[in-house]
């Protein structure tokens, strides 16, 4: 089987170039595989399945068409779009995965994550993540008016951009000890994640055995995909 992985597209109406690249990728890459995995931050911000955003409607339509063509589509929450819910998934004909999730790729157990939970040295972010992902917080957010959610979304986005610029780069990257811990817990030798915007294939040793961590790239100056098949794993970029 063939698999395609993408993450961190941060789709928004202000970046039509990314939307065009995504649509091209679906038509010319995703239709050639058996399964498509979108590992978080698919949208720059997702305020709820009830948001009448024309971009969201377009994305739902093309994902449903891809599923109709026989491609299984899987979506994972990111830190920007953790309010994606059942209504979106039903309409887009995709499956929402937990984070982390162990997939079987041609007989190999592979751990899939968005990646933000690995950045444990960023104490401020981890505190905010725990607050926002709390079931009570999620219930409150989903029951606020769309106007209120828009206001909160703008505030969180602005604060995130300011804090990211101010923090040292090693703080916003994954903690390698946490990477080894999570891979050991899930008994895997391959981890695929996004979030850090630092695309690369890292080799490492876990309990004396070789392992690899594949980081998906963000779609900004280029688009990034990881294709996996029986011949191996290929992380590729292409111009937007």
pLDDT class for 169, splitting at 50, 70, 90? confident
Helix, strand, or coil (residue 69): coil
Above 90 in pLDDT, residue 150? Answer: no
- How many structural domains compose the chain? 1
Q: Per residue in 77-119, pLDDT tens?
A: 999 999 999 999 999 999 999 999 999 999 999 999 999 999 9
CATH number of 204's domain: 3.60.21.10
Whether 197 has a binding-site annotation, put simply, is: yes
80 is in an annotated binding site: yes
Range 189-213 average pLDDT: 96
Asked if 121 and 98 touch (Cβ cutoff 8 Å), the reply is no
Annotated binding-site residue? 160 = yes
- The whole domain housing 23 covers 3-239
Percent of the chain with pLDDT over 90: 80
Q: Is 122 annotated as a binding residue?
A: yes
8 labelled ligand-binding: yes
114 labeled part of a ligand binding site: yes
Residue 223, number of CB atoms within 10 A of its CB: 22
Cα-Cα-Cα-Cα dihedral sign, residues 199, 161, 168, 126: negative
CB count within 10 Å of CB 134 equals 11
Phi and psi (nearest 5°) for 117? Answer: -70, -10
Q: What is the pTM of this model?
A: 0.94
Start-to-end CA span in the chain (Å)? 27
Residue 40 has pLDDT above 70, yes or no: yes
**Does residue 167 have a known ligand-binding role?**
yes
Q: DSSP letter for 117, please.
A: G
Residue 141 burial (CB count, 10 A): 17
């Amino acid at each position: 089987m063939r698999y395609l992985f993408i993450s961190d597209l941060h789709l928004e109406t202000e970046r039509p170039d990314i939307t065009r690249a995504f649509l091209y990728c679906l038509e010319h890459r995703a239709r050639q595989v058996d399964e498509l995995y979108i590992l978080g931050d698919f949208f720059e911000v997702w305020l709820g399945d009830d948001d009448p955003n024309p971009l969201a409607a377009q994305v739902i339509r093309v994902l449903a068409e891809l599923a109709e063509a026989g491609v299984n589509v899987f979506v994972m929450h990111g830190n920007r779009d953790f309010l994606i819910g059942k209504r979106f998934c039903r309409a887009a004909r995709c499956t929402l995965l937990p984070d982390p999730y162990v997939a079987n790729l041609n007989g190999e157990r592979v751990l899939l994550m968005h990646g933000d939970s690995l950045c444990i040295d960023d104490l401020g972010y981890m505190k905010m993540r725990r607050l926002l992902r709390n079931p009570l917080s999620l219930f409150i957010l989903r029951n606020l008016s769309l106007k209120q959610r828009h206001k909160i979304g703008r505030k969180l986005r602005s604060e995130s951009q300011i804090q990211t610029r101010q923090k040292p780069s090693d703080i916003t990257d994954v903690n390698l000890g946490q990477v080894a811990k999570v891979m050991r817990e899930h008994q895997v030798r391959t981890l695929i994640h996004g979030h850090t915007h630092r695309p690369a294939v890292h080799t490492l040793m876990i309990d004396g055995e070789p392992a690899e961590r594949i980081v998906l790239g963000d779609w900004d100056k280029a688009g990034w995909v990881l294709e996996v098949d029986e011949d191996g794993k290929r992380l590729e970029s292409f111009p937007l």
